[in-house]
């Protein structure tokens, strides 16, 4: 059997999808929803949660001391158009990156670039994409996100950009490692994400709502109120969406060259986060190992904390160019 993008990608072994066939039906109950309406009926927290969060953020303006603080800092709601644009962008990007990997399967070559080469490449992970889409749509709560004015200089921009990256990475590392160490927290917050041992693009947002709230949205809200300028927020959200999809793709794509140039995808990503090598870059290989083995590589963006605490594992490096 072939498709318009060529023969389906296969590999030996079995997965949580049942067989080595990339089109196999999932075998786990958590993977049974393939339509958003059915998923939302089973998990209303993905609808009610962001609504309540947005209402709470908007209601904060009704508290006199808070409103006074907001006014002094020039804080305004992010707004519907910006929140909707970011949400739509992230949703479409998830399908675009997944489609790119499938349609250029022969050029990417799973044998050389897939991290877990013994696992099949799942071509139609509809249940994973469904929960992922529901999680991404909760970003619409950012409509009421209290946001400071744009940065006032390049020093201000890059300073707060790096500060946010380090802060988010540190909080994520601490909470993520704790969830793995405390069984009750793991079950309540993180077990859903680890349902998939061989990641694909949609696994980035294959999360329980409460996990997404704690590990992303609460950190964003607190940072915006405390110090984060609007332009740094938007740069982080948009570039971070691409970064997390590539990190969860199951492939090391950084060595793929841009046509007609010696420039690689890795080079382009390095320009977007030029400071990352100072703290060690978290790659798809690092995070793939975490999904496969359930231990180590707890950080979000960097490796220095895992290195300090002895939880860093290099995983299976892929270094060939194509």
Residue 271, classified by CB atoms within 10 Å of its CB into exposed (0-12), middle (13-18) or buried (19+), is exposed
pLDDT per residue as tens digits for the range 212-263: 999 999 999 999 999 999 999 999 999 999 999 998 988 888 777 888 888 8
pLDDT at residue 124, rounded to an integer: 81
Task: Indicate whether 10 pLDDT > 60.
Answer: no
Confidence label for 111 from pLDDT (cuts 50, 70 and 90): low
Whose structure tokens read 């059997």?
Answer: 1
Two structure tokens written together for 251: 């492939």
Helices 45-59, 126-137: axis angle to 10 degrees equals 20
Q: How many CB atoms lie within 10 A of CB 162?
A: 17
Whose structure tokens read 């949400």?
Answer: 87
Please give the full DSSP string across 114-169, using - where no structure is assigned. Answer: BSSTTS---S--HHHHHHHHHHHHGGGGGGG-EEBPPPSSHHHHHHHHHHHHHHHH
pLDDT at residue 154, rounded to an integer: 97
Task: Indicate whether 133 pLDDT > 80.
Answer: yes
pLDDT per residue as tens digits for the range 15-25: 444 333 444 45
- Predicted TM-score (pTM) of this structure: 0.88
pLDDT at residue 34, rounded to an integer: 92
Q: Count Cβ neighbours within 10 Å for each residue of 73-84 and write b for 16 or more, e otherwise.
A: eebebbeeebbe
Which of 104-113, 209-218, 224-233, 262-271 is predicted least confidently? 104-113
Please give the full DSSP string across 222-289, using - where no structure is assigned. Answer: HHHHHT-BHHHHHHHHHHHHHHHHHHTSSB--TTPBPTTSS-BHHHHHHHHTTTGGGT-B--HHHHHH
pLDDT at residue 15, rounded to an integer: 46
Higher pLDDT, 269 or 24: 269
Task: Indicate whether 160 pLDDT > 80.
Answer: yes
Two structure tokens written together for 246: 């590539």
Task: Indicate whether 80 pLDDT > 80.
Answer: yes
Closest CA to 208 of 63, 65, 64, 43: 43
Total residue length of the chain: 322
Mean pLDDT computed over every residue of the chain: 87
């Amino acid at each position: 059997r072939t498709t318009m993008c060529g023969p389906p990608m296969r590999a030996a072994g079995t997965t949580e999808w049942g067989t080595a066939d990339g089109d196999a039906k999932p075998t786990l109950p958590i993977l049974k929803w393939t339509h958003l309406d059915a998923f939302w009926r089973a998990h209303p927290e993905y609808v009610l949660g962001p609504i309540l969060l947005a209402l709470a953020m908007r209601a904060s303006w009704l508290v006199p001391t808070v409103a006074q603080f907001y006014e002094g800092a020039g804080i305004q709601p992010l707004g519907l158009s910006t929140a909707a644009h970011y949400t739509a962008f992230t949703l479409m990007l998830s399908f675009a990156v997944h489609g790119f990997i499938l349609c250029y399967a022969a050029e990417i070559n799973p044998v050389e670039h897939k991290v877990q080469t013994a696992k099949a490449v799942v071509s139609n992970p509809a249940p994973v994409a469904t929960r992922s889409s529901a999680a991404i749509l909760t970003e619409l709560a950012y409509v009421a996100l209290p946001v400071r004015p744009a940065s006032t200089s390049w020093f201000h921009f890059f300073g707060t950009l790096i500060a946010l990256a380090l802060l988010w990475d540190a909080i994520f590392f601490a909470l993520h490692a704790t969830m793995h160490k405390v069984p009750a927290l793991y079950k309540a917050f993180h077990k859903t994400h680890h349902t998939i041992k061989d990641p694909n693009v949609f696994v980035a947002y294959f999360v329980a709502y409460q996990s997404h709230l704690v590990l992303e949205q609460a950190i964003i809200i607190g940072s915006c109120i405390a110090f984060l300028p609007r332009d740094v927020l938007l740069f982080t959200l948009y570039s971070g969406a691409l970064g997390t999809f590539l990190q969860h793709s199951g492939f090391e794509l950084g060595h793929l060259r841009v046509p007609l140039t010696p420039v690689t995808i890795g080079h382009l990503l390095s320009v977007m986060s030029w400071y990352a090598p100072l703290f060690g870059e978290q790659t798809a290989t690092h995070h793939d190992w975490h999904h496969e083995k359930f231990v180590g590589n707890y950080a979000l963006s960097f490796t220095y904390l895992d290195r300090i605490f002895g939880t860093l594992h290099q995983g299976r490096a892929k270094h060939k160019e194509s």
